[in-house]
């Protein structure tokens, strides 16, 4: 990478957040060079790509030549809880492996590394004949992608995933290397990783040491990655340009105005009400015992985080200028389509088709949401088992998507995953799922009658989990291999319940696919292709939990309260906020501002001026949690863990004035490893080039 220092320095006063989560095949290097004087060469980009890994629900990065991986504590929290016990709560008390033999293997935890990708748009669209109805077109494209996936997995031995970009404007096949031996190395106490708790979530200034270290092994030895990101020894400063690679989950910036109005008026309020009820149910379960509180903490945290994120999205959509901008851009594109006869024929009616599908989405929303497994792991396994033999007996093209030849391997792997299930928590989830169906659909609904049979949701869930053996992966494998007739007649209570669910869920799935999903896919793709023809590929696609690059400077912003946010926070600020709430004796806000005793004892040893968190202008959303933040040299300077509430509207409409991400500074991680966590050996490993 080369940098024109003069150009970069002249640009500093005007630095603001930079829009876009760009795929690595289409980085706008010319625009970056024009604005910042920075030339991103292919080797630099490849290094960053091969150092970045995908965690379940988030991102991480190789940060040493010995396979050490960093991610957020909150991304790894489920894994940390999984290897904890009632007597050794590693989430609460933290963990440091003093030597390699102390590193703890996490069964079922898998990391994914993107190796390569191919644009297969022409082959996928070639499977659809002109004039094919929307639902049949959707199925044909899915089958084409599934066939490509199966062929590539057989050819390469890699894990392949089909990826839809630009609302169907492009189709890609991504090839991943999968790591299955992942071990916990170190993590601070959750009280420090999420200091400030829910009150401070999505705010800034912040003081979260939100990191955890894992290590990848192969053949029982530390894996030596092709690329890694050493921790920087160059101080990061305000105005410095940073880059972030990661797997942003989902954005909706390419949606039509009708779809965004639906989100504002119907979709998000419905989700918020739903999450509030789910949180109440799990909090009630957590109160039943200390162990229930421990195993449910991560799930409750996730729900709380989702509530705040959706609240921010709704705030953004509710600003008049947000939808006005969407309406203006849509009107310009539609006018350009009208002026071109070919485009008018292909996509002129697509906006109206999508608006009609939005109306069907509204009508089906409640029933489609309530009739399903909804995050219940064992109930989901039961439904997979109920369907898998019947689906396999059909030609691949006629099956449900997850059972096609190209997807069946991944479905079987999920079903047989050795990752343990917290049975009590899963039962509490099922009780809530069934109660939601009862209260939202009514006692006379055919599905409610079938699954409850006049009993309470809690009684049905209790009976199902008391008698099931599906928590045992070996039992699931036995059922899977026992043949269609044996599986169809097995009386495991969760299988019985899944058989009652299956016809209702299948019927609703068919309606949703025919009336909503296929229309969005077909006509969203037509609009995207019209945009390509008019503007070229000058825009980035919506996030799809696939690898992306964003960039922006360490930057302040106007908080709306008449002042500006500080670019960096420090250890001193952490202790000040702790004491300002009265210290551990006060335990205000449910203990959100307390600190572990070893942190209080370590205070005299700490360099309190050390930066702790920083705000910066990279364009991020959920899924970027754990993303490495790097400097111009490609060195690790911090780890992304959050963004501000004011910027959550960016899921739909980007706003440069409010889009700020928040990261834990690399210097804070090193200072903590050396002076709090007794992990000098890990700090040294992170600094080794």
Confidence of residue 3 (pLDDT cuts 50, 70, 90): very low
The whole-number pLDDT of residue 1 equals: 47
- Cα separation, 282 vs 293, in Å, equals 9
Q: Give per-residue pLDDT as tens, 88-98.
A: 999 999 999 99
> Given a cut of 90, is residue 324 above it in pLDDT?
yes
Q: Which CATH number fits domain 2-110+180-250+544-687: 2.40.50.320, 2.102.10.10, 2.40.10.120, 1.10.760.10?
A: 2.40.10.120
- Cα separation, 670 vs 293, in Å, equals 31
Lowest-confidence region among 4-13, 164-173, 566-575? 4-13
Q: Where are the beta strands (DSSP E) in 83-144?
A: 95-96, 104-105, 111-119
Q: Which sequence spans correspond to the domains of the chain?
A: 2-110+180-250+544-687, 113-178, 257-534
Confidence of residue 12 (pLDDT cuts 50, 70, 90): very low
Q: Is 425 helix (H, G, I), strand (E, B) or coil?
A: helix
Q: Helices 290-318 and 73-82 meet at what angle, rounded to 10?
A: 160
> Given a cut of 80, is residue 16 above it in pLDDT?
no
In the chain, the percentage of residues whose pLDDT exceeds 90 is 89
Start-end of H helices in 53-117: 73-82, 90-93
The whole-number pLDDT of residue 588 equals: 55
Confidence of residue 590 (pLDDT cuts 50, 70, 90): confident
Mean pLDDT throughout 495-512?
96
- Cα separation, 490 vs 480, in Å, equals 11
Confidence of residue 589 (pLDDT cuts 50, 70, 90): low
The whole-number pLDDT of residue 2 equals: 41
Task: From residue 93, give the alpha-carbon distance in Å to each of 89, 187, 353, 374, 443.
Answer: 6, 9, 55, 31, 46
The whole-number pLDDT of residue 685 equals: 98
The whole-number pLDDT of residue 349 equals: 96
Q: Please give the mean pLDDT across all residues of the chain.
A: 94
Tokens representing residue 83 in the block: 């290897």
Mean pLDDT throughout 566-590?
89
Q: Could you give the angle at the alpha carbon of 210 between the alpha carbons of 209 and 212, nearest 5°?
A: 110
CA 45 to chain centre: 22
CA 561 to chain centre: 31
Q: Give per-residue pLDDT as tens, 41-88.
A: 999 999 999 999 999 999 999 999 999 999 999 999 999 999 999 899
- Cα separation, 687 vs 689, in Å, equals 6
């Amino acid at each position: 990478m080369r940098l024109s220092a003069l150009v970069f320095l002249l640009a500093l006063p005007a630095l603001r957040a930079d829009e876009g989560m760009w795929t690595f095949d289409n980085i706008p290097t010319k625009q970056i060079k024009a604005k910042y004087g920075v030339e991103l060469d292919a080797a630099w980009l490849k290094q960053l790509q091969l150092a970045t890994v995908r965690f379940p629900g988030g991102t991480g990065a190789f940060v040493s030549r010995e396979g050490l991986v960093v991610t957020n504590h909150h991304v790894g929290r489920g894994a940390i809880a999984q290897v904890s016990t009632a007597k050794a709560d590693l989430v609460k008390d933290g963990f440091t492996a003093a030597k390699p033999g102390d590193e703890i293997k996490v069964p079922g935890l898998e990391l994914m590394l993107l190796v390569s990708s191919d644009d297969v748009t022409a082959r996928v669209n070639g499977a659809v004949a002109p004039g094919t109805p929307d639902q049949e077109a959707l199925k044909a494209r899915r089958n084409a992608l599934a066939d490509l996936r199966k062929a590539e997995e057989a050819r390469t031995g890699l894990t392949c995933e089909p990826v839809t970009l630009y609302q169907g404007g492009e189709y890609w096949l991504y090839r991943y290397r999968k790591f299955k031996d992942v071990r916990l190395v170190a993590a601070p106490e959750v009280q420090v990783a999420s200091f400030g708790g829910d009150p401070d979530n999505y705010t800034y200034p912040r003081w979260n040491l939100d990191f955890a270290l894992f290590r990848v092994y192969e053949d029982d030895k530390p894996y030596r990655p092709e690329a890694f990101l050493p921790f920087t020894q160059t101080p990061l400063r305000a105005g410095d340009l940073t880059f972030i690679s990661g797997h942003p989950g989902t954005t909706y910036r390419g949606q039509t105005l009708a779809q965004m109005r639906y989100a504002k008026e119907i979709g998000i309020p419905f989700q918020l009400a739903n999450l509030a009820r789910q949180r109440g149910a799990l909090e009630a379960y957590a109160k039943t015992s200390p162990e229930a509180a421990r195993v449910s903490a991560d799930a409750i945290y996730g729900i709380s985080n989702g509530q705040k994120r959706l609240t921010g999205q709704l705030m953004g959509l509710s600003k008049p200028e947000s939808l006005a901008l969407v309406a203006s851009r849509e009107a310009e594109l539609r006018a350009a389509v009208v002026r071109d006869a070919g485009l008018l024929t292909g996509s002129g009616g697509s906006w109206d088709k999508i608006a009609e599908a939005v109306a069907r989405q509204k009508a089906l929303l409640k029933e489609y949401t309530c009739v399903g497994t909804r995050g219940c792991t064992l109930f989901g396994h039961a439904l997979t088992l109920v369907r898998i033999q019947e689906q396999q007996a059909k030609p691949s093209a006629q099956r449900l998507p997850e059972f096609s030849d190209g997807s069946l391997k991944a479905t079987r792997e999920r079903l047989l995953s050795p990752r343990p299930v917290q049975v009590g928590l899963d039962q509490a989830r099922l009780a809530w799922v069934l109660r939601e169906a009862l209260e939202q659909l009514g006692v006379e609904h055919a599905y409610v009658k079938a699954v409850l049979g006049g009993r309470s949701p809690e009684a049905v869930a209790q009976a199902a989990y008391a008698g099931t053996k599906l928590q045992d992966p070996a039992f699931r494998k036995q059922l899977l291999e026992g043949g269609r007739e044996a599986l169809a007649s097995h009386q495991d209570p969760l299988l019985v319940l899944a058989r009652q669910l299956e016809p209702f869920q299948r019927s609703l799935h068919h309606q949703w696919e025919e009336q909503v999903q296929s229309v969005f896919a077909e006509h969203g793709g037509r609009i995207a292709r019209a945009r390509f023809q008019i503007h070229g590929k000058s825009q980035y696609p919506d996030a799809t939990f696939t690898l992306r690059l964003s960039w922006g400077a360490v930057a302040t912003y106007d908080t709306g309260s008449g002042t500006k946010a500080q670019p960096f926070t420090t250890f001193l600020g952490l202790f000040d906020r702790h004491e300002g709430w009265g210290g551990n004796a006060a335990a205000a806000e449910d203990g959100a501002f307390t600190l572990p005793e070893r942190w209080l004892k370590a205070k005299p040893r700490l360099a309190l001026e050390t930066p702790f968190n920083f705000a910066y202008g990279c364009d991020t959303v959920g899924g970027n949690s754990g993303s490495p933040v790097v400097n111009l040299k490609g060195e690790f300077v911090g780890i992304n863990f959050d963004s501000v509430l004011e910027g959550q509207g960016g899921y739909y409409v980007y706003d440069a004035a409010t889009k700020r991400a928040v990261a834990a500074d690399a210097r804070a991680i090193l200072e903590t490893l050396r002076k709090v966590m007794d992990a000098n050996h890990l700090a040294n490993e992170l600094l080794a080039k």
